[in-house]
Amino acid sequence: MIWNEIVCLGDSLTYGARDEYGRSYPAELGKILSEKTGEFYICHNYGINGETSSDLLRRSWNILKSNKSSKIAILMIGTNDTKKPTPINVYRDNIRQIVMSIKANGMTPIVSTLPDLTFSPYYQKNRDMVDKYSDCLRNMSREYDFKVCEMPKLSEYLIDGVHFGNAGYTEMAKVFAKEILDLK
């Protein structure tokens, strides 16, 4: 049997918070890639609810080091950074260090822009930071040579202004699947 492993790093959007079936975009991504390629894909879900880019930076090296069979790492982080907000220069350096750790562990990084937020009391004040963080990622991709996966407008799938139901996570997985299949 041929199998492929992908590391998925992030926050509650990676974890799959609010998915009515207890799934996530990594679970849907594995299914989609397996169906499209005829090979088995396992997408390791390292999403933690409430995590910021600084939190993920602290734990990412050990995750990456323990997944040597993975050739791809997907990174989607920053939604919780908008709450404070985390200064752009701090967010940028957190992403830089995570991307360099991905590369040092022999994986191809795919970094996702952040999906749009709609109304939520926790995120309302700093929603403009989503665009600022996403622009930062686009600019960094040229400097640090990583692929940016553009998340389209998915607000119709939001169930609480921040998180998705299964249909939204499935749409995210389709976007990631296209990026991954374009790498081959």
Q: CATH number for the domain including 17?
A: 3.40.50.1110
| 118 has pLDDT over 90 | no
Mean predicted confidence (pLDDT) in 14-34 = 98
pLDDT in tens, 141-183: 999 999 999 999 899 999 998 999 999 999 999 999 999 999 9
- Say what percent of the chain tops pLDDT 90: 86
What is the number of domains present in the chain?
Answer: 1
Domain that residue 58 falls in: 3-183
- Secondary structure of the chain in the HEC alphabet? CCEEEEEEEECHHHHCCCCCCCCCHHHHHHHHHHHHHCCEEEEEEEECCCCCHHHHHHHHHHHHHCCCCCCEEEEECCCHHHCCCCCHHHHHHHHHHHHHHHHHCCCEEEEECCCCCCCCCCCHHHCHHHHHHHHHHHHHHHHHCCEEECCCCCHHHECCCCCECHHHHHHHHHHHHHHHHHHC
What pLDDT does residue 120 have? 64
**Higher local confidence (pLDDT), 126 or 182:** 182
What pLDDT does residue 184 have? 63
Please report which confidence band the pLDDT of residue 121 belongs to, taking 50, 70 and 90 as the band edges.
low
